[in-house]
Amino acid sequence: MKFPFTKKKESVIEYTAKNQQADNYLGQVLNAVSQIFTRGSSGSFGVSPNGKRNFNELFGYGDVLCFDDFKGMYKRGGIANTVVAKVAKSCWRDMPEIKVNNDLVLVDQLNALKKAKFFRAFERVDIANRIGSFSVLFVGIPDGLDPSLPIGSANKDNFKGLYFNVYEEDGIEVVQWDTDPASPRYNLPVMYTLQSRVNGYSKLAANVSAIRVHYSRVVHLAEGALSNSLEGCSALEAPWNAVTDKEKVRGSSGESYYRNSRQKLALEAADGSKVSTNKEAREALKENVENFQNGLEDTLRLNNMKANMLQPAMSSPRDAFDIAVEEIAGTTGIPVRILTTKAGGSVTGSEDKATWNALVNDRQEQECTPWLLDALSILDEAGILELPDNAEVIWPVQSSLSEKEASESMKNKADAFKSATEGLSTIGADEVIAESVFKAVGLDEIETDDIDLSVDDDDLNDSIEE
């Protein structure tokens, strides 16, 4: 018996609101379990494989670090402040340009934003971002709407009504998320609660209140973010152990100098003598010795005793301090000379500045440009300015070398070139390609044809010596 052919219907699963709610609950449960597991296993880094030694606890590094730790170190940690603030300040030191096909655009608008303290606000919010794991710049648009509503329209070129508020990690809370899997902002904030934090004892505390802000009005900074685009890493987290060691060395060195610089006395009773040991006599002797050490008295009133001056040995903390600072430099990429302003040779100084300039320029391209474009896009959405789709941010070339340093650097490179080319004829090389030598000594920008270095060339020697 033949059966007529029938097409099987495809089953379609409809993703209902009920399914979405169930997935949201499941995601929250899994996230909570993950957090509990993470907290339970936190501190595993720095613990020996057999679990018998916790180096974080032993060396005073701490197992779990939070924003308050980083903020405290930034405020009082010396070099830690340089690690955080100097990078951010250098990145926003000079105003960038906006170009479209090599043509400058938005020149007047950028100047107006500078007068409105736009770039100063970015410097501050960048510092806050580097202290913690994220920060928020609230762009105050004069659109007449409540900040909790999506951004509205404002008058073109109305820069006088603009304002910019900076919020640190401890004053930011996401109160509403985008839970639609089909949305391009899935699992991203929809609504923030923002509040400035001030010291509890400050008179400003009574005037601080929280505001609800729609995501379209903020720029969210999270440097170092990986899978989670909202939360990066503090600039102090990676070098934390070295920064802590630096504080221990510096602090213990200062304390030991203070203690050992004071007069150390050993009171020795004379042979066969009797010394009063009653409470009143001990208290009087103690007070007399303390006053003598603190410079309040010039004489010691001793009965049947003699005072021997002790000379404690004092070791230099320089090696331990340098080790800590060098690790901070290696971790952050900031040269030691930039961290400490410690003087060095002319070659070292120019190379350090070149490294520093490269670090700043790279960060401007990779981090600052997207943040800046996000902020300009908010102003474009409000109609205050028109940001072209193919706009390109051009940052000023970092140049911290003085004319003298630049001249010395070029002379050092010329000497290196001369040393590299001397004696080539003795090893059987009749001709060499000069570009390879230039590249080796850092003179890549010079273009030249093949030259014969096996014969004397007075013009070449004169130019090198110059």
Per-residue pLDDT tens digits for 230-258:
999 999 999 999 999 988 888 877 767 66
At residue 283, the pLDDT reads 79
Cβ neighbours around 219 below 10 Å, total: 22
Query: What is the share, in percent, of the chain residues with pLDDT greater than 70?
Result: 61
At residue 269, the pLDDT reads 65
Query: What is the share, in percent, of the chain residues with pLDDT greater than 90?
Result: 44
At residue 316, the pLDDT reads 79
Q: Tens of pLDDT along 253-277?
A: 776 766 666 666 666 666 666 666 6
Q: Is 340 helix (H, G, I), strand (E, B) or coil?
A: helix
At residue 251, the pLDDT reads 80
The residues spanned by each domain of the chain are: 15-64, 68-254+332-401, 404-465
Cα dihedral value 447, 450, 452, 457, nearest 10: -30
H or E element at residue 172: strand 172-177
Q: Tens of pLDDT along 50-84?
A: 666 777 777 778 888 999 999 999 999 889 999 99
Amino acid residing at 191: M
203, two tokens: 């008179």
Q: How far is CA 123 from the centre of its chain?
A: 12
Distances in Å between the Cα of 201 and the Cα atoms of 98, 197, 204, 208 are 44, 12, 8, 13
